[in-house]
Chains A and B, each alone.
Chain A
Amino acid sequence: MSMRGTLRAMPTLLRVGVSEAVAYRAEMFIWVLSTTMPFISMALWTAVARYAPVGRYTSADFVRYFLAAFVVRQMTGAWAAWMINYEVRQGTLAMRLLRPISPLWAYAAENLGAMPLRLVVVTPVAIAAVYLQGWSSVPQTVWGWAFFLVALFGGWLITFLVNVALGTLSLYMESSTKLMDVWFALFYVFSGYLYPVELFPPALKGLVDWLPFRYQVGLPVELMTNKHDFWTALTLLGAQWLWVGLLLLVSVVLWKRGLKRFAAFGG
């Protein structure tokens, strides 16, 4: 479908995505419960920083950081890899491929459709962060808000595109969900989800800057909690969007090549 046609169809796709998210609300709230790890990390790290800061993080900074990590994780979640795996194995991807719009747009709309419901969960947490820790829990400048929102969208795009790329590998191998498990193992270590990445030793932190994980969660959290000046933030945003571009290329190439191998199993 042309880009104009896709953009015209997108509001309906998003509206249907929201309706589906509402239909699956119980499942979503259970998923939210499984993403409360930042609260556990918050308890641990605030205890560690009770008597002296860790790096430049005080107890209050850790509270701000992990409340922001919870918010960002909710707003950057995607599950397209599991959908693609399921639909390739069952052959139901065929029904999507018959439509004159790339299934990738449909997956994106379905994933984004969950955001309004997630906002219902994260808004009270963000308000609580401001109430408990003051306005430094959220960006304090116009550019800070703009950079944070761009980083949040970039973080979601990286998560979604990784899902697409790894999910698409199910067209090449029998199932690729285990690869997502490997990705998650690395994500927990390098993304800043369980601890701020600046607490890594300098050599390791250099490596983290070159990997995509930090740009999924760490960067939006750092921007939400005002950890960077304008130019550092801009540089990091540039790196994040380079990853977005690279992953977009990889996932689209894998997808297009993979479709030639699609066997449309089952019936």
Chain B
Amino acid sequence: MISVRDLRKHYQVHKRPPGLMAAFRSLIHRTYTTVKAVDGISFEIKPGERVGFLGPNGAGKTTTLKVLSGLLHPSGGEVMVDDHVPRHREDAFLKKIMLVMGQKQQLLWDLPPSETFELNRAIYDVSRAQFKQTLDELVTLLDLGDLIGKPARQLSLGERMKCELAAALIHRPKVLFLDEPTIGLDVSMQVTMRTFIKSYNERHGATLILTSHYMDDVAALCPRVIVIDKGQLSYDGGLDALVQRVRPEKRVVLRLEQAVDVARLAALGKVVTHDNATAVLQVPQEAVNTTVSRALSTLPVQDLTVENAPLEEVMSELFAETKARRETVSA
């Protein structure tokens, strides 16, 4: 479905020091530097897959999505999306894809979302019958009822984002690029969006690439993740395997009936957090069984769970690891 080979996107960026003199000097002599937003990444995505595209700010995630959706012309490499070269922006290609950006809107600002839906129906040449069926489905699943008749500017961020998603799906795209779709939304709205996105993928078999800084989005939606940093690929594989690789230790979370001395906890494993009612221990995977049985027999445990390290920590450790490796190479 999606094939990316040695994709590169480099920008020439004008650079100057601060100050008035520098501003005047830049009139005569401009200095440019090349920013390698994406620098030789390759991957394949199968039809119907849900893939998380992760990386720190400035890693090149959004740039890659923009290349995949035909908005940007790559500086090098080959990109194919469902047998189309995105930069050619053929109608058949544009009718198959959609890019939803949490920080950009396609809704007509002063008109109700229903106008944008109708506009998209006409532009994507969707039959009246299919439009009605799709819209009814979207209105029900996203609970849009009263929202589609209010001017977009009067909707809350969460309401607007639901309408944005609905507008993006009027033509039932086969490939959906989601760039931080839950940014700024409250927790319950994030859950609504995730549930809807997953059900869209399952019902229509759509291929989905998601970027998000909310690891809950990634954990809920993406069995596979691609991690890029400074424009280069640093991981491509299962989410569980990534966690195993970066943080093989497990977390034993204890709910305690009464306060326990930290020294007693430390005897079982590395104490991550500890207060009167809870304690979190980090232990090697092979020591989980022993630790659990010792905790149950020696401590006043009310409840116990074994978890992976939080995804946020896994990611920040991975980014730190990649950065250290890069510094070693450049040194």
Contact = CB atoms under 8 A, between A and B. Distances in A.
A141 interface: no
Interface in A185-211: none
A5 B104 contact: no
Nearest to B171: A100
A1 B111 contact: no
Contacts of B95: 100
Interface stretch (B117-125, B134-142, B217-225, B257-265): B117-125
Given A1-B91, A16-B115, A100-B94, A94 B123 contact: no
A169 B124 CA distance: 29
Contacts of B106: 95, 98
Interface in B73-103: 73, 89, 91, 94-95, 97-99, 101-103
A262 B180 CA distance: 21
Contacts of B72: 262-264
B91 A5 contact: yes
B105 interface: yes
A13 interface: yes
A266 interface: yes
B292 interface: no
A19 interface: yes
A9 interface: yes
Interface in A1-52: 1-2, 5, 8-9, 11-13, 16, 19-20, 23-24
B71 A99 contact: no
Nearest to A10: B122
A213 to B, nearest CB: 31
A23 B165 CA distance: 24
B302 to A, nearest CB: 46
Contact of B71 (A19, A20, A24, A262): A262
A139 interface: no
A19 B116 CA distance: 11
A100 B105 CA distance: 17
A64 B331 CA distance: 80
B108 A2 contact: no
Nearest to A101: B123
Contacts of B101: 94-95, 267
Interface in A243-267: 260, 262-264, 266-267
A13 to B, nearest CB: 7
A100 B95 CA distance: 6
A89 B73 CA distance: 18
B91 A264 contact: no
Interface string B157-201: 000000000000000000000011000000000000000000000
Contacts of B286: none
A98 B71 contact: yes
B125 A16 contact: no
A263 B94 CA distance: 19
| Interface magnitude class on chain B | 35 or more
B209 to A, nearest CB: 15
**Central interface residue in A5, A94, A95, A262, by most chain B CB within 10 Å:** A95
B66 A94 contact: yes
A25 B130 CA distance: 34
A9 B123 CA distance: 6
Contact of B122 (A12, A19, A91): A12
Contacts of B212: none
A99 B123 contact: yes
Contacts of A94: 66, 71, 99, 101, 104
B58 to A, nearest CB: 12
Contact of B123 (A19, A92, A100, A266): A100
Interface string B56-73: 000000100010011111
A84 B97 CA distance: 24
Contact of A267 (B73, B104, B119, B122): B104
B73 A260 contact: yes
A16 B89 contact: no
A12 B102 CA distance: 26
B99 A267 contact: no
A2 B179 CA distance: 29
B125 A9 contact: yes
Contacts of A146: none
B11 A16 contact: no
A264 B89 CA distance: 15
A12 B119 contact: yes
Nearest to A97: B71
Contacts of B327: none
A105 to B, nearest CB: 9
Contacts of A100: 91, 94-95, 123-124
Contacts of A260: 73
A251 B121 CA distance: 28
A264 B111 contact: no
Given A100-B95, A267-B101, A24 B110 contact: yes
Interface in A73-129: 91-92, 94-95, 97-101
Contacts of A267: 62, 101-104, 179-180
11 contacts: A1-B123, A9-B123, A12-B118, A16-B119, A23-B151, A94-B71, A95-B106, A100-B124, A101-B123, A260-B73, A263-B72
**The 7 residue pairs across chains A and B that have the minimum distance between CB atoms:** A12-B122, A267-B103, A100-B94, A23-B110, A100-B91, A9-B122, A95-B106
